[in-house]
Structure 1
Amino acid sequence: MTRPGHPEDLDDPRLLWTRAAVLAVCGAAEPKSSSELTVDDDGIRADIGDAPRWWRLTLAPDGEAVVSGQDTDRDDTHRTDGPAPLLEGLPDRLNWTRLREDMERGALGFVYWHADGTWHRADGVEDDGLDGPLEHVSDDAKTTARVLLDKGLDDAVNAERAVADVLRKAHENTLRPADVTAMLGVIDPEIGADAARTKAALDAAVRTGLLAGTKPPLIGEPSE
């Protein structure tokens, strides 16, 4: 990603979602780390480190999406006089409650929305800090590297292949529970042998719509 960030830096929202979901699945099987990912009806959120540095990816019907977050170490938007007009131009259908609440409490440094087949943001925004927080989902290789970070692997090649296989099948909407458990076992045999941690990962795979036959949460669409 470039700095300052630009709408064209962002990949297709479904690709971003798949990478974020794989990180969330792997994170669900691990103790809390410095990059905690959570999943709820508002999407996938990553909290990075101790500083106000976070992002959320939210999907909506018809291929629309919103990326929002903050990196107070890198953005200029929170240092302006008064709140930056980050929601100007955002379609009403994508201006949902949680986003407005984040804006009102000064927790946003960037907001991008995907509509009409392309990413947009408010005019006149300079360096909003986009590039830092979302680096790990910018492509499959960076997501794989994040999954394997600090693992101390004896067989890094097979571990990379296992994560890449899960990403590929998830992109193709053919991912099965056995693929996830196989990946976890290669990354860390202790996880593969721990039924509770494996279940937590599989629950996250269902919640994010990563497994074939499941659906991710969408704003503006009633939960089943």
Structure 2
Amino acid sequence: MTIQRPGLPGDLPSPELLWARWALVAVLEATSEAEESTRYRTGTWIDEEGLHLDDCGCTWWTFSRVGEGRYVLFGEDESSGVKWHRTPIDMLAGGPDWLPYEELRDRLEGNELGCVYWYENGAWARAPYPDDLGDDGLDCGMSRFVDRDDALSLLDEHVRHDAPGAEILMDHAERYRLTAELLESYASPADGSVPDLPAMGRALRRAELTPRTATAG
């Protein structure tokens, strides 16, 4: 699946599929040490606000569920030209009233926001862009989860290499039937350490990828 530059709402897959792929990476990267850290957090993780990605460099993103059938995706990649556009672009134009406006406006005031997408009534949407905008950062930020092969490659350093663990875990996550037993069978950090299964279990429950909490078929 290709993401245009700038991104189009139709470039994004269903929010359930995007959530499943992103959440699986967050679950596999979960550690008790990271959960307890009070320092600025990087990597991929899930908390009460939703899914997060921060590479401590050029890109950060948040993906949140906002009630039944509603999602919001926002963040920034250095490739985004939105906030630098000569004619100011209102990234919140046309947004529904349930968006997290306080946080989004704080980000705007801090010059930290590159784009905002939202989902409701079965479709993605965003503010209108001028024809001369070159990029909003969606491609560089989200292609890692939108393209399934790219998403699978993110799992390589977290699963056993003597079994098709990445494909199996991804398949179960996308069908919302991932279990702690599967994680225990296939999780294997690249540094050779023991997987932090308790932290992974907590992240899995928060991600709601298990059969009892299925939201997508």
Q: Which of 2, 7, 10 is 2:9 aligned to?
A: 7
Does the residue aligned with 1:2 lie in a helix, a strand or coil? coil
2:212 aligns to what? 213
1:140/1:164 contact within 8 Å kept:
no
Query: Contact 1:208–1:215 at 8 Å: present in 2 too?
Result: no
Q: Which amino acid aligns with 2:9?
A: P
Distance change (3 Å), C-alpha of 1:213 and 1:27: same
Partner of 1:148: 156
In 2, Cα distance between equivalents of 1:60 and 1:35: 23
Hey, what does 2:54 align to over in structure 1?
47
Cα distance per residue 1:167-191 (max 9 Å; x no partner) = 2222222221101111204x65944
Identify the residue that residue 38 of structure 2 maps to in structure 1.
none
CA distance in 1 between partners of 2:101 and 2:53 (Å): 19
Question: 91, 110, 132: which is aligned to 2:96?
Answer: 91
**Structure 2 counterpart of 1:104, from 109, 113, 119:** 109
How far the C-alpha of 1:29 sits from its partner, in A, is: 4.5
- Tell me if the contact between 1:42 and 1:98 (Cα under 8 Å) persists in the aligned partners: no
Structure 1 runs of 4+ aligned residues shifted over 6 Å read none
In the alignment, structure 2 segments of 5+ residues that lack a partner are: 35-40
Shift of 1:81: 5.0
Identity among equivalent pairs (%)? 27
Q: Normalized against structure 1, the TM-score is what?
A: 0.79
Query: 1:215 Cα shift?
Result: 7.9
Question: Any idea what the Cα deviations from partners look like across 1:95-148, whole Å, max 9, x if unmatched?
Answer: 343333223322110101112211111012532111001121113321111121
Output the CA distance in 2 between the equivalents of 1:30 and 1:41. 16
1:38 is paired with a residue whose SS is strand
**RMSD over aligned Cα, in angstroms?**
2.8
Q: Is 2:64 the partner of 1:62?
A: no
What does residue 44 of structure 2 align with? 37
Q: Is the 8 A contact 2:61 2:141 kept in 1?
A: yes
In the superposition, relative to structure 1, how do residues 26 and 152 fare at CA in structure 2: closer, same or farther (>3 Å)? closer
CA contact (8 A) 2:159 2:186 kept: no
**Which stretch has the larger CA shift, 60-69 or 7-16?**
60-69
TM-score, structure 2 normalization: 0.81
1:171 to 171, 174, 180: 174
Are the structure 2 counterparts of residues 90 and 23 from structure 1 closer, same or farther at C-alpha, using a change threshold of 3 Å? Answer: same
Q: Is contact 1:86-1:121 (8 Å) kept?
A: yes
| Residue correspondences, number | 204
